[in-house]
Amino acid sequence: MNIYTQIAARIPANVKKTILEEGFIDKAVNVMEVNTPMEYLFDVYEEFVDISGEHDDWSCHKCREFVLQEWKKIKPFLQ
């Protein structure tokens, strides 16, 4: 089983549905603004994927970029 299949399996179905229906992965931009697709994806990633908190600094543009790129890799496995 591929790592992204495993990661996608950790995310609850209702959250996957929201991400896909709202197009959050495609709409997200690496900005530190609240109530944006980026913030939603960052929060979901921190809650269900990055359990160790390795990339949990919202104010760090490199952390946000890492999380965004990971979502782009995870996207095909969310469906």
pTM: 0.94
- Span 56-78, pLDDT tens digits: 999 999 999 999 999 999 999 99
Contacting residues for 44 by C-beta, under 8 A, at least 6 apart: 11, 15, 19
Find the length of the chain.
Answer: 79
Per-residue pLDDT reduced to its tens digit, 31-48: 999 999 999 999 999 999
Domain ranges of the chain: 3-77
What does the alpha-carbon distance between residue 42 and residue 1 come to, in Å, rounded to a whole number? 24
